[in-house]
Structure formats: structure tokens, C-alpha cells
Structure 1
């Protein structure tokens, strides 16, 4: 069977959001897919949708390639060039957690994309693709087909997403119930999906109140220092969330230095950008190294954070570092971190800058 006869002629490159994958698949399959990103629920569900559509189209065999440092990329090319013993159509699934195939992997991907297998769909599931890789030949080769980039839902959108997810599962939740689920899972979409399934199992379809959620939903909040930093940059309205996240990190066994290190890096970058803004450069011109997904957040923070305040925050961070190293006694590193994050969020507190 010819390539175009089975898949249809390819148009221009396609980059779609995870939320549009079903609509895309309804129009027919393409021979190559890349699903990239570090948000596990959307990545998993996108890959599952592509697999299901491929199976429905007759791709009954599945070959899985787990990529590590010792992986031989010639295996992928050999599989693509060989026909199934019983002429069955296949899914060639490459799992690339690092988001970077390396030199040999990049060559193999380019070569495969030049002549995709007639009887197979290549499905690459990857970690987050960095900016440098997006300029590579292998990524551009994949962009001739379908690339699905998976981004975590923004904190401001998680309540709406949870409400829509509950409704899609037959749960008619009131506003307080939705907000309570959002508070319990703290932005973890996979945990939210699991809790919604638990509610459906325990309560069945129908109306759901906050009291029912309170009784049924386990506290499955998961935190990381980078989300905490982004919450602080959102400003004063996010201050209560910062406190909850900091307490959550402490409760999960994270140590203060693990929170402080990425925060200091962020503060240094903000301080350098603030100095340039105060010298007359527009904020957009000083954020060249900031990820596109964070530019609005960082730009907003630069509008309210002076270089002087950021210098004070860095000095307070140095004080916390001394606590961590045992050089400053009588202080609680977690309380000092809370002061630091709340000040960054816009609540002026007494910083230790000596």
C-alpha cells in the first residue's frame, strides 16, 4: 500500500495542543507523531488517544523502544524498513524521557522522517523539548508531521479544568466542591483526575457538594520548588497558596536547601533584569532567556519588584544559607523561607539583610 494512499497527502507542519488531539485524529492518522512535555496526565492521555486511533485503523502490533544512553538507534530504522511477518500494521513507539535523542538519534529521526514506513505509525513520547533542540534538524523533521506539546495548566485555569473534567464524567459539582478538589490537589492534574475517578466510584453520577468532597477526597497535593517560585511571582493574591505549598514541601520531606537553590537562581536573574529595566530598557527586551510560557509572569513581576528589593531578598537568602550551614543559630529556616516568599509575592515583611 502506498504512503499517500493510506495516510492522505500531508499538508504543512502541524503543531497542536493536547486538548485538540481527538479533533485531529477524527480527520485521519498521520505517519509520525511527537508528544512532548512533562505534564504526565495530558501526555499519557494524548498518547493513549493516538494508540487507540491507530488500533482502530488496523495497527494491531506495537513495538516499544526505550531510549537510554546505550540505545542503538539503528533498531528503529531496521524496524521501519522491515515488513511485519504477517503483513500486520504496526505502532513503533519510542520513549525518550530526556527530550534529547543525541547526535545518532537525531540522524535516525531525520532519516526515518524522510521515508516513513508504509505499514507503521511512529509515535515518539518525549520529555520537555528545550529551546536549542527546537532548532535542531530532527525536531524540524518531526514538525513536518504532528507535534503535540503538553504544557501544565496554569494555576488560574485549574479550577475551570477540574470543573469541566468532573462534568465530563457525569459529576455535577457545585463551585465550592470544584474549588475544594483544586485546593486538595494543588495543580497536580494527574492527582485531580484520580480523585475525580474516586468520587465517581464512591458517589456515582449526579450532584456533588463540597461536604461530599471533603469526606471522600484524600489529600494528594504534590509540590515542587519551581511551582512555588512561580506562585510567588504571581503576586499578593497567591500568597496564601505560597504558604500552603511551602508547608507541603516541608511535609513531603524536602529540605530547605532544595527550595533555596532554585529561588536564589531566580532572584539573581530577576535582579539582573530589573537593573536593565531601571536603566531604561523595556521589559520585553531583557527577557530573551526567559521561556515563552513564563514571560507574562516574569514581566508582571518586574513591574512591581525593584532591584533594591531584589538585593534585599538575595541578602535574606544568604542569611537562610547560613542557617542551613549551621552558621546562624536561633532561627528556623522554614520560617525565614516563608518570609522570603511572602515578600517576593508582595507582602512586605521584615527581611534579615545584615
Structure 2
């Protein structure tokens, strides 16, 4: 026998109230209306993502009442998760996710130099693997290692070299330096470089 449980979707206008009740039930924390609405906007009605945000706040904010500033401060603490998601989306060729994550990082005012060196390492590892060399994978997740190997087999070495050089341009632009043949927008250039691997296959 089986049991069928009906779960109706939650209307966007009712989501902040659901978030407030969920946080109180799970964490014993009270959310201001502004904080609950900000979480609703960030998760776009995805209840799984919303529950994860509530769990993150419980871990990162040790106080009984959470306001907008607490939610915004927590962004910097979870930005490493967003960056790893960017690397995996790029390696897996998920162009839509790459674009969305970069827009999210930009919207959260994450500084490009804070993670650009890690992205450069990803491309360097792809080049080495593509040429048959071993790379250091200490500290990388199994998903990351697998994605690296798959991407290295499908990527053209000339494309990887171009990506590596263009990331140098991104670094210069993010520091306010002039780069020829560019409009000076470091975020757009960063997105273009990441999408190169996502959109072009052998």
C-alpha cells in the first residue's frame, strides 16, 4: 500500500510568512519581515533552497532575531559555496547556471580577485590534464575531480590557452587597469571566459 500526500505550492506573497514560521520551528529564531522577504527573493520560491538558507542562517547567525543585515552578512560566509558551484557548472558545460552564478556573485558584491586565482587554477589544471600531465587534486571534491577529467577530454587546448590569457585581462580590469579591445567590464569579461568552456566542445 502507499500513501499520497498533497503538497500545494506556496504563493510568492505567502512565502515570507512560511519562512518566518519555518525558522521559528526549526531554529527557534525570529526573522524580521524584511529579512524573510529578502530570503524569499533570493530563493525565487524554491522551497528546498529556502530551507537550506534557513539552515545556513542557523549555523552562521548566533542570535534569536535575524534582520536584513544578518542575511546580507551571511552572504560572504557562503560565497565559497557559490564559487565552487561556478567551477562545477563551467566544467560540466552548464551555460545557464554559469551565467546565473556569476550574476549572483556580482550582485552580492563579491570581489573578483578573491576567487579569480582559484578559477585560474581550474583552467591551468585543464591545460595540464589535456596535455597528459598529472595535477594536484588535494582538497578537491570527487565531483570536482571527475568534472575536471571530463572537461579536459572535450576541451580544445587552444581554447584553454585563450581562456588562461583572458583571465589575466579579467584580473587587470578588476583592478581598474586598462585592457585593449575591451569595454572595461570585468564581470562581463569573466562571464565570457567561463562560457567559452561551457559553449564550445571538440
Q: TM-score, normalised by structure 2?
A: 0.56
Q: Which has the larger radius of gyration?
A: 1
Aligned-residue offset at 1:294: 2.6
Query: Which protein is richer in strand relative to its size?
Result: 1
Counterparts in 2 of 1:326 and 1:230: CA distance versus 1, 3 Å? same
Which fold has the larger relative contact order, with Cα–Cα distance below 8 Å and residues 6 or more apart in sequence?
A: 2
Which consecutive aligned stretches of 4+ in structure 1 deviate over 6 angstroms post-superposition? Answer: 185-188
| RMSD of aligned Cα (Å) | 3.6
Q: Match for 1:232 among 90, 108, 111?
A: 90
Q: Match for 1:328 among 153, 166, 178?
A: 178
Aligned-residue offset at 1:318: 0.7
Counterparts in 2 of 1:264 and 1:191: CA distance versus 1, 3 Å? same
Do the aligned partners of 2:124 and 2:164 also contact (CA within 8 Å) in 1? yes
Count of matched residue pairs: 139
Counterparts in 2 of 1:249 and 1:188: CA distance versus 1, 3 Å? farther
Map of 1:316 onto structure 2: 166
Query: For the residues of structure 2 that align with 1:294 and 1:192, how far apart are their CA atoms?
Result: 25
SS in 1 for 2:86: helix
Aligned-residue offset at 1:335: 0.6
Q: TM-score, normalised by structure 1?
A: 0.34
Aligned-residue offset at 1:191: 3.0
**1:1-354 equivalent positions in 2, closer than 5 A:** 171-172=7-8, 184=43, 191-193=50-52, 224-235=82-93, 238-276=94-132, 286=134, 289=137, 291-328=141-178, 330-347=183-200
Do the aligned partners of 1:242 and 1:342 also contact (CA within 8 Å) in 2? yes
Query: Which protein is richer in helix relative to its size?
Result: 2
Counterparts in 2 of 1:317 and 1:168: CA distance versus 1, 3 Å? farther
